[in-house]
Amino acid sequence: MWFFTDEHKLVRQSTEEFAQSVLAPKIDHLDETEGFDRDYFRQMAELGLLGITVPEEYGGTDMGCVAATITMEELGAVDASTALSYLAHTILFVNNLATNGSDAQKKRYLPKSISGEWIGGMAMTEPGAGSDALAMRANAVRRGDRYILNGTKMFITNAVMGDVFYVYARTGEGKKDISTFIVEKDFPGFRMGRKLKKMGMRASPTGELIFENCEVPAENLVGREGDSLKHMLKNLDIERITISGISLGIARASVQAAVKYAKERTQFGKPIAEFQMIQRMIVDGLAAYEASAAYVYNAAKMWDEGRLDARGSRGLGAKVKLVSARMATKVALDAIQVLGGYGYTKEFPVERYMRDAKLMEIGAGTNEMLRVIVARELFGD
């Protein structure tokens, strides 16, 4: 983008080098085995990526939403699974805590999270509460110097192997009486549930978290009781902008794979790149990627400049995610079509790109829910 600073360019270069040298050699194996390499986070910490939106006083690099989105794109272009786990850790846990936590909470949890010693996640979705987040049933009741937390969270990225989670739970009878708690994996009454088998993003663990009379110290309440809805909505905004970077990475990699194959593959005596139908799919994909990139990074820059109020950011975050997610799935599907039979096999990465891209139309707000958000703002609801 024209407004990228030298710092942004350095983040792109260092992340790209890390993705190509460290992630690329292992992703096919990890995707096939549904494995996870925890050491990736320690290496990303050395690059200053785990605290990318956190003020320097807490050990972060304070580079903002644009830099975080750049990182998502470069990781997503090689290994979208690691990009997703990185998002859950860096945006859903670390950024949430750095934005809303007390000074004591930040000093306790941010150093371990930014160094890669601990991996975090965020727990909002439940078996019966997805798009309708306010229908959550997990609840917490204060008893003396602790809260007793009960409930189950589902589809949680970094479950199974996470060390600490930013957990939303109900603390009152009102629909909006939602509070947030920092829960460590060793707290009494907290356990990891089953790991889910998935179509895509297979090298990013997803599962359930179970709280059965889980004892949470009162000092691990984030903010005040019943005050978390606005925090939840604001962090969803930056999540939707930055996660769009993963869609950009997948689309860019899909176009590059299609171009390379089309130049090498010959049929009827000439490279298939010379056939107009092939050219159309690839060129349309490239144009869609570049248009989406301009939209996403403009939103990220507006976020960094503070030019989005809470309501406006919800609409823009929803729109850029909707556009980029649909684009990535279409571009990845067309790349498979360009590669033909080979594209449908695991000998080439485009089938993985398509499987990974589809999650972008579901996680952090389904396409359908994002349309509802935009429609409400459009029609003045």
Distance CA 16, CA 117 (A): 23
Q: How far apart are CA 152 and CA 172, in angstroms?
A: 18
Q: Describe the chain by its helix, strand, coil percentages, rounded to 5.
A: 55, 15, 30
How sure is the predictor about 381, in pLDDT bands with cuts at 50, 70 and 90?
Answer: low
In b/e form, how buried is each residue of 249-287, taking b as 16+ CB within 10 angstroms?
bbbbbbbebbbebbeeeeeeeeebbeeeebeebbeebbe
Smallest CA-to-CA distance from 96 within 71, 115, 121 is with 121
Rounded mean pLDDT of 88-107?
A: 97
Q: Is 71:4 a contact under the CB 8 Å cutoff? A: no
User: Could you say which of 2.40.50.140, 1.20.140.10, 3.30.1490.190, 3.40.720.10 is the CATH number of the domain covering 229-378?
Assistant: 1.20.140.10
pLDDT for 310: 55
Domain with residues 121-222, CATH architecture:
Beta Barrel (2.40)
Domain with CATH 1.10.540.10 in the chain: 6-119
- Check: CB of residue 183 under 8 Å from CB of residue 167: yes
Which carries the bigger pLDDT value, residue 380 or residue 277?
A: 277
pLDDT at 350: 98
CA atoms within 13 A on the CB side of 127: 9
Instruction: Give percent of the chain with pLDDT exceeding 90.
Output: 92
Mean pLDDT of 197-221: 98
pLDDT of residue 1: 83
- pLDDT tens sequence across 216-271: 999 999 999 999 998 888 899 999 999 999 999 999 999 999 999 999 999 999 99
Average pLDDT over residues 44-50: 97
- pLDDT on residue 134: 86
Catalytic residues: 239
CB 146 within 8 A of CB 114: no
Residues 143-194: pLDDT tens digits?
999 999 999 999 999 999 999 999 999 999 888 999 999 999 999 999 999 9
Q: Say what the pLDDT of residue 365 is.
A: 95
On whether the CB atoms of residues 24 and 82 are closer than 8 A, the answer is: no
**Mean pLDDT estimate for the chain:** 96
Arithmetic mean of pLDDT, 337-351: 98
CATH architecture of 6-119: Orthogonal Bundle (1.10)
User: How many beta carbons lie within 10 A of that of residue 192, not counting itself?
Assistant: 16
Closest CA to 358 of 327, 334, 337, 336: 327
Hey, what are 170's tokens? 């109900």
User: pLDDT-based confidence at 293, cuts 50/70/90?
Assistant: very high
pLDDT at res. 3: 92
Per-residue pLDDT tens digits for 294-341: 999 999 999 999 987 655 667 899 999 999 999 999 999 999 999 999
How far, in Å, CA of 170 to CA of 181, rounded? 11
Contact 183, 141 (CB under 8 A): no
